[in-house]
Amino acid sequence: MEIPENSLDNFIDEGLKQADETLKQLEQGSVLVHKVFCQNPDGRELLTQWKHSMVMLPTVEPNSTQFEAGINEGIKKFVRNLIVQIETIETSGDKHE
C-alpha cells in the first residue's frame, strides 16, 4: 500500500487547524464567563456566594460516601475553573467590555 506523498503534511495541517478552532472556542467561552461573573454585578455576587458555599466547605465529612465526596469535589472544580477562566481573561486583557 502506497501512502500519498503529502498525506502527513495534510494530516498535520488539519490537526493544527482543528486545534486553532478549539482554542478560539475556549477563548470565547472564557470571555463569556468574564462577562457574566465579573462585568455583571449579579453574576459577581453569585460567584462570591458559590465560592463561600461550595468551595470553602469540606469535600468529605465523617459519614460521606465516596460518591458524595466525588460530587462535592466536582462542584468545587467547576467553580475553580470559572475562577481560572476569569483570571486568564483579566491577565490577557481580552475582556471585550
Do the domain assignments include residue 16? Answer: yes
Do the domain assignments include residue 48? Answer: yes
Do the domain assignments include residue 3? Answer: no
State the pLDDT confidence band at 44, using cuts at 50, 70 and 90: very high
CB burial readout 46-63, b (16+ within 10 A) else e: ebeebeeeeeeeeeeeee
The answer on pLDDT for 7 being more than 90 is no
The answer on pLDDT for 97 being more than 80 is no
54-72 confidence digits (pLDDT tens): 888 888 999 999 999 999 9
Do the domain assignments include residue 27? Answer: yes
Do the domain assignments include residue 1? Answer: no
Do the domain assignments include residue 14? Answer: yes
Q: Cα separation of 51 and 30, whole Å?
A: 18
Longest dimension (CA), the chain: 63
Give the residue numbers spanning the domain of 56.
8-92
Tell me, what's the pLDDT at 80? 94
Q: Are 30 and 89 in contact (CB under 8 A)?
A: yes
Q: How many domains does the chain have?
A: 1
Do the domain assignments include residue 57? Answer: yes
Q: Are 67 and 46 in contact (CB under 8 A)?
A: no
Q: Look up the pTM and report it.
A: 0.69
